Amino acid sequence: MRHFSVAFLFTILALTTISAQGIEFFHGSWEDAILKAKQEDKIIFVDAFTTWCGPCKNMAANTFTAPEVGEYFNANFINMKIDMEKEMGLEFRKKYPVNAYPTLFFIDAEQEIVQKTVGAKNAADFLILGQSITGKYDKSKKFEKAYLSGDRSYKLVYDYVAALNKAGKPSTKIANDYIASQTDLTTEENLRFILEGASQIDCQCFDVLEKYKSDIIKITSEQMFLDKVRQASTNTAKRAIEFESPELIVLAAAAMKRHIPSEAEFFKSKSELQYALAIHDMSRIDELVNTHVKKFVKNDPDGLHQMALDLNKYAADSKPCQILALNLAEKAAKADDPKYVTTYAQLMHKSGAKQEAINILDEAIRKYKDEESKDLQSLKALKTKIENG
């Protein structure tokens, strides 16, 4: 079994562009959001922003639109964007003070702050933040005692399975046991239970989900069904890494092809690359990265940059992978974003090419006319560090 953070590994490629949605924001009132959070037992995520805030615009354009961010946040949070200079925002600030933008709030249904953080985040870091929040919000212990004492009522088992799923804990045995105990799976209660319980592709509950697909969609929605397929497929790909079982990726990719064919090829490519990085399969990483970049990342600087970072993190001891990371970082740096240039220079220095790293930074520094620019100061500081290193 793999003893590393599978959840962290699954933040890779978050910035790759595919035909999938990002975060769906709730457009009702604050009171409506609180009611919805209570009904769905979810935390409210609030992006406290202003229209003039540059980092806010960057998050809106690049972070909130990332498919993996949307998949996770849509499933686990009630998401709101609130302009702090308009009526709702002015009222919101009376209870939840905001002094910098963006400020990211996570607030429970009792209107208590679970966590508050200031500053923009890229898709990978924002996904990690969301996962840490749901990890804190673990209600499964609340139901575990009653379940172990023999309570098998619908509400208790449903709430227990839902809490386990939200906390990222195994729930398939409990869900499968409940399904096996039922004589009529077509009742509305049981159809809703099946939708909640199908957390993995390789479980009885998912088989039943597929069997009663049309009935489940009738009482919920096609979007909820597809979201469940995406989440179950992602969970199964994570287990493939955890237990070193690549056949699980095959099962998950097949499920995606059956139900969401437009996303199946991307899912398979991403999952195979994540698996190769996780188990350090150097014989496949180069081919998988190049294929993924060619088909999905293309010339997107965010995706190229993230891929370079992931290769550097998970394949740091492989010379071919480090060369590949350097090539990807070079392509990303052409966008002239300081963070991309910084990564390119750092990887160049790490490869042993100290002077080339300094030249990269010198070229970027020459483009700045504002001597007070924070980005300029950051580039100069890195150059000094490399020169003295």
Residue 197 CA to its chain's centroid (Å): 21
Point out the least confidently predicted range of 90-94, 199-203, 346-350, 369-373.
369-373
Confidence band of 252 (pLDDT split at 50, 70, 90): very high
Place of tokens 């929605």: 221
Say whether 82 sits in a helix, a strand or coil: strand
Looking at residue 137, what is its pLDDT?
A: 78
Q: Rounded to whole angstroms, how far apart are CA atoms 152 and 382?
A: 60
Hey, what are 49's tokens?
Answer: 């922003």
pLDDT in tens, 78-111: 999 999 999 999 999 999 999 999 999 999 999 9
- Cβ(274)–Cβ(10) below 8 Å: yes
Hey, what are 259's tokens?
Answer: 């139900």
What Å distances lie between residue 330 and 136, 221, 299, 301, 376, CA to CA?
39, 44, 11, 10, 19
Confidence band of 141 (pLDDT split at 50, 70, 90): confident
Looking at residue 2, what is its pLDDT?
A: 53
Looking at residue 149, what is its pLDDT?
A: 96
Parallel, antiparallel, or unpaired: how do β-strands 43-49 and 77-83 relate?
Answer: parallel
Looking at residue 66, what is its pLDDT?
A: 84
Looking at residue 327, what is its pLDDT?
A: 94
Confidence band of 238 (pLDDT split at 50, 70, 90): very high
Q: Is the pLDDT of residue 213 over 50?
A: yes
Q: What is the DSSP string of 105-168?
A: EEE-TTS-EEEEEES---HHHHHHHHHHHHHH---HHHHHHHHHTT---HHHHHHHHHHHHHTT
N- to C-terminal Cα separation, the chain: 39
Confidence band of 346 (pLDDT split at 50, 70, 90): very high
Looking at residue 336, what is its pLDDT?
A: 86
pLDDT in tens, 33-64: 999 999 888 999 999 999 999 999 989 988 99
Looking at residue 9, what is its pLDDT?
A: 52
β-strand partners of 326: none
Q: Could you tell me what percent of the chain has a pLDDT over 70? A: 95
- Cβ(344)–Cβ(332) below 8 Å: yes
Residue 102, preceding peptide bond in cis (omega within 30° of 0): yes
**Angle (deg, nearest 10), helices 374-388 and 354-366:** 160
Q: What is the DSSP string of 193-211?
A: HHHHH--SSSSHHHHHHHH
Hey, what are 226's tokens?
Answer: 């597809």
Looking at residue 1, what is its pLDDT?
A: 52
φ/ψ bin of 88: left (φ > 0), alpha (ψ from -120 to 50), beta (otherwise): alpha
Q: Is the pLDDT of residue 6 over 60?
A: no
319-347 average pLDDT score: 91
pLDDT in tens, 257-274: 999 999 999 999 999 998
Q: Could you tell me what percent of the chain has a pLDDT over 90? A: 70
Looking at residue 309, what is its pLDDT?
A: 87
Sheet holding 43-49, edge to edge: 77-83, 43-49, 103-107, 113-118
201-207 average pLDDT score: 96
Q: Is the pLDDT of residue 20 over 50?
A: no
Q: Is the pLDDT of residue 14 over 50?
A: no
- Annotate 291-352 with three-state secondary structure: HHHHHHHCCCHHHHHHHHHHHHHHCCCCHHHHHHHHHHHHHHHCCCCHHHHHHHHHHHHHCC
Confidence band of 10 (pLDDT split at 50, 70, 90): low
Looking at residue 244, what is its pLDDT?
A: 95
Mean pLDDT of the chain: 90
Better pLDDT: 228 or 370: 228
Say whether 192 sits in a helix, a strand or coil: helix
pLDDT in tens, 295-305: 998 888 888 98
Q: What is the DSSP string of 10-63?
A: TTTTTT---S--------S-HHHHHHHHHHHT-EEEEEEE-TT-HHHHHIIIII
φ/ψ bin of 107: left (φ > 0), alpha (ψ from -120 to 50), beta (otherwise): beta
Q: Rounded to whole angstroms, how far apart are CA atoms 386 and 245?
A: 42
